[in-house]
């Protein structure tokens, strides 16, 4: 999923380096380019090309790569807020409507923006979150955070939740799932530990009480 995005981003980087134009990609990568050394940049570019050529992320050593950490930072924070703004119904829409909404959400004529819009228009929420989780595991050995709610929650609350989890587990990517069986409240699985505040579990507890 990230191949097109990485290709577009690499192209943006190389064009900006070659022509000296202003970098058109996401601001976090601009910061990265300003700080990275030539040697590290070459190392990162080597890794990028390996990923683009189909090498599995888990095989590569991405833990020391500033580029991939920046990529993860981008997806776990900037892109995640875009995802949260879309809501659950977005992924049920036809391709054209999804593309249109993605263009409204991510504007700009850069290759990177186009690649991100393509990611949103052609992948399901589950595919996107799994890909980001996989990236997170490859780079920082991050755990899995899944938040289940009975209804799709507002982008504001999702943002609040992300910020809370990010404070405790930096660069992790919490995924939000709708589980109508919960009825009310929510349930979170944080690195294998369950935090169940759902009404369903409360009903279960109530009915399991004995005199």
Partner 1 sequence: MEGLAKLGIDPFSILLYLLNTGLLLVVLIYVLYKPILRYLDERRDQIKRSVEEAQLLKVELDKKSIEAEEASKKAEETLKREMENLRKFTEDKRAELTAEMEVARNEMLEKADADITRRKEALLKEAEQATLTLIKKIVLHIVQNKVPEEVVEASIKDSWKHFNTADRRH
Regarding 88 and contact with partner 1 (CB under 8 A), the answer is: no
Instruction: Compose the 158-177 pattern: x for residues touching partner 1 by CB under 8 A, - for all others.
Output: --xx--x-------------
Kindly indicate which of the ranges 27-35, 40-48, 117-125, 197-205 contains the residues binding partner 1, using the contact rule CB under 8 A: 197-205
Q: Is 62 in the site for partner 1 (CB under 8 A)?
A: no
In the complex with partner 1, which residue's Cβ is closer, 53 or 211?
211
DSSP 12-77: HHHHHHHH-PPP-S-HHHHHHHHH--HHHHHHHHHHHHHHHTT--TTTS--TT-HHHHHHHHIIII
- The yes or no reply on residue 157 touching partner 1 (CB under 8 A) is yes
What does the CA dihedral 149, 155, 158, 163 come to, rounded to 10 degrees? 180
* 151 makes contact with partner 1 (CB under 8 A): yes
Spatial distance between the Cα atoms of 196 and 185, rounded to a whole number of angstroms: 8
Size of the site for partner 1 (CB under 8 A): 27
Q: Quickly list H helices, 143-198.
A: 155-168
Among 45, 100, 122, 199, interactor with partner 1 by CB under 8 A: 199
Choose which of 153, 173, 175, 191 interacts with partner 1 (CB under 8 A): 153
Tell the smallest beta-carbon distance from residue 150 to partner 1 (Å).
Answer: 6
Please count the residues of the chain: 211
91: which residues sit within 8 A by CB, 6+ positions away?
98, 124, 125
Per CB under 8 A, the list member of 107, 184, 191, 194 interacting with partner 1 is 184
- Token reading at 17: 């380096």
Rule CB under 8 A: say whether 204 interacts with partner 1.
Answer: yes
Residue 149, interface with partner 1 (CB under 8 A)?
yes
Work out whether the CA dihedral 176, 178, 182, 185 comes out positive or negative: positive
Tell me if 205 contacts partner 1 by CB under 8 A: no
Residues making contact with partner 1 (CB under 8 A): 149-151, 153-154, 157, 160-161, 164, 180, 183-186, 188, 195, 197-200, 203-204, 206-208, 210-211
């Amino acid at each position: 999923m990230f191949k097109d995005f990485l290709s577009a981003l690499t192209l943006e980087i190389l064009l900006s380096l070659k022509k000296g134009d202003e970098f058109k990609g996401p601001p976090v990568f601009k910061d990265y380019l300003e700080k990275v050394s030539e040697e590290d940049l070459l190392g990162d570019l080597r890794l990028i090309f390996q990923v683009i050529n189909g090498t599995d992320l888990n095989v590569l050593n991405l833990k020391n790569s500033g580029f991939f950490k920046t990529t993860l930072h981008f997806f776990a924070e900037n892109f995640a807020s875009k995802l949260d703004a879309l809501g659950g119904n977005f992924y049920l829409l036809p391709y054209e409507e999804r593309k249109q909404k993605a263009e409204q959400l991510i504007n700009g004529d850069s290759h990177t923006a186009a690649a991100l819009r393509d990611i949103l228009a052609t992948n399901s929420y589950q595919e996107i979150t799994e890909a980001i989780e996989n990236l997170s595991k490859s780079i920082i050995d991050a755990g899995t955070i899944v938040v289940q709610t009975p209804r799709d929650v507002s982008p504001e609350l999702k943002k609040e939740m992300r910020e809370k989890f990010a404070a405790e587990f930096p660069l992790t990517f919490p995924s939000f799932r709708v589980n109508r069986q919960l009825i009310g409240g929510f349930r979170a699985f944080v690195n294998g530990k369950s935090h169940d505040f759902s009404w369903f579990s409360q009903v279960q507890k109530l009915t399991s009480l004995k005199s």
